[in-house]
Structure 1
Amino acid sequence: MREFLKNYYNESIQIQVAASETLADVLTDAADLLVSSLLAGQRVFSCGDGQSLFVANHFADLLLQGAELERPPFPAVALGGSPSQISELESIARQVQAIGSQGDILVAFISERQSERVHQAMEAALSREMTIIAITGTESGDATGLLGPADIEIQIPAANPARITEQQLFISHLLCSLIEQQIFQGGAH
C-alpha cells in the first residue's frame, strides 16, 4: 500500500515538474489573452468533459469571486447541461450559439480522448468567431484539429484523465492569479 501511495504522488509530482518546464510560455499567452479580452469587456465561457466538468465550473467561479484578491467580478459563465435539453450532447453548443459573441473566449477543459459535447461547443464557438483556450492532455483527440491560429492549446504532459484533471485545477488557479496580478496589481511577466 505504501509503495502504491508513493508511486501515486511521484507520478503527479513528475507531471507538475514537466508542466512547469514546458508550459510557461503558453500559460503566459493564455493569461495575456484572457486579460486583454476581459479589459475589452468580453466574456469568458468555460466547459469541460467528464472529470473536467467540475474544473470548468470552478474556473468560472474563480473569475466571478476572485482567486487571491477581493475584486469586482469578471464576466464568466460555466456552461453545462440542462434537463430540458433534447440532446445532452448539444446542450453546451446551444448555449454558446445563444449567448457567445465575437471576441468572447471559450475555455475548454478536456481530460478524455473523445469529448463530443466539448467538441460541439468548440465548433459553435468557432462559428461565433470566439477564441478558444483548450486545456488538454497529450491525447487530446480531435480537439487540437479544431483550433485555429489565434487559439491556444495548453497541453498537459499526461495521458491519464485523473492526472490531467489535477493539473487543470492547478492551471485554473494559476490563470486566475495571473489575471488578477496583471489587472489589479500591474504585474509584469
Structure 2
Amino acid sequence: MKSLIRKTVQDAIETKQKFFATHEDLIETCARQMAQTLEAGGKLLLFGNGGSAADCQHIAAEFVNRFQMERKPLPAIALTCDTSIITSIGNDYSFDEIFSKQVQALGDKKDIAIGISTSGNSANVIRAAAVAKDQGLILVGFSGAGGKLKEISDIAFCVDSPVTARIQEVHITLSHILCDLVERMLFHDQ
C-alpha cells in the first residue's frame, strides 16, 4: 500500500510539473482574458459531467465568494446545479442538450464559457461549447490530451495523461491559479 501511495503522489506531481512547465504563457493569457471579461460586466459559465461538474461548482464558488482575498463577488455560474433545468431538458430533449440550452439562455457575447471534459469528447459539453462559439462567447476548454473540445476552444488546456484522476487534479490546480491571478489583476494585489 505504501508503494502505491508513493507512486500515485509521484505521478500526480510529475503530471502537474509537466503541464505547468508548458502552459505558463497560456495561463497568463487566459487569466487576463477572464479579468477583462469580468471587468467589462461579463460572466463565466461553467459546465462538465461527474467530477468535472463538481469542479464547475468549486470554481464558480471561488469566483462568487472569494479565493485568496476579501473582494467583491465575481459572476460565475455552474450550469451543473439546477436539477429542475437539467432534468426537464434531459427529459424533453436529451442529456446531450442539458448545457447547450442553458448557454443559449444565459450566454452573452461578452461572457466566457468554460467547458470541462477529461476525454474532451463529452457530447453535452461539445454541444454547449459549439453553442457558446456560435453566440460569440470566448470558449475555454479543460480536457485530457485531446478530443473535440481541444479543437474548438479559443483557449485549450489539455493535460497529457491517460489517468482521469491526474487530469482532474491538474484542472483544479489550474482553476485555483486562474482565480488567484484574476483576483490580483482586478483588485490590484500584484
User: If the length of structure 1 is used for normalisation, what is the TM-score?
Assistant: 0.92
How far has the Cα of 1:158 moved from its partner?
Answer: 1.9
The residue that corresponds to 1:88 in the other structure is 95
Q: Distance in 1 between matches of 2:103 and 2:43?
A: 11
Instruction: Give the conservation status (yes or no) of the 8 Å contact 2:12–2:166.
Output: yes
Identity score, percent: 27
Q: Which moved more, 1:165-174 or 1:47-56?
A: 47-56
Secondary structure of 1:41's match? coil
Q: Distance in 1 between matches of 2:149 and 2:15?
A: 21
Q: Quick check: which one's helix share is greater? A: 2
Moved over 2 A (4+): none
The residue that corresponds to 2:63 in the other structure is 63
User: If the length of structure 2 is used for normalisation, what is the TM-score?
Assistant: 0.91
Counting matched residue pairs gives: 183
Instruction: Give the conservation status (yes or no) of the 8 Å contact 2:97–2:124.
Output: yes
How far has the Cα of 1:36 moved from its partner?
Answer: 0.6
Distance 1:134 1:160, change over 3 A: same
How far has the Cα of 1:182 moved from its partner?
Answer: 0.8
1:77-96 alpha-carbon deviations (Å, 9 max, x no partner): 11126222222220100000
The residue that corresponds to 1:39 in the other structure is 39
The residue that corresponds to 2:162 in the other structure is 159
Q: Which runs of 5+ in 1 are unaligned?
A: none
Q: Which runs of 5+ in 2 are unaligned?
A: none
Q: Please point out which of 176, 184, 187 is paired with 2:187.
A: 184
Secondary structure of 1:168's match? helix
Q: Distance in 2 between matches of 1:49 and 1:30?
A: 22
The residue that corresponds to 1:76 in the other structure is 76
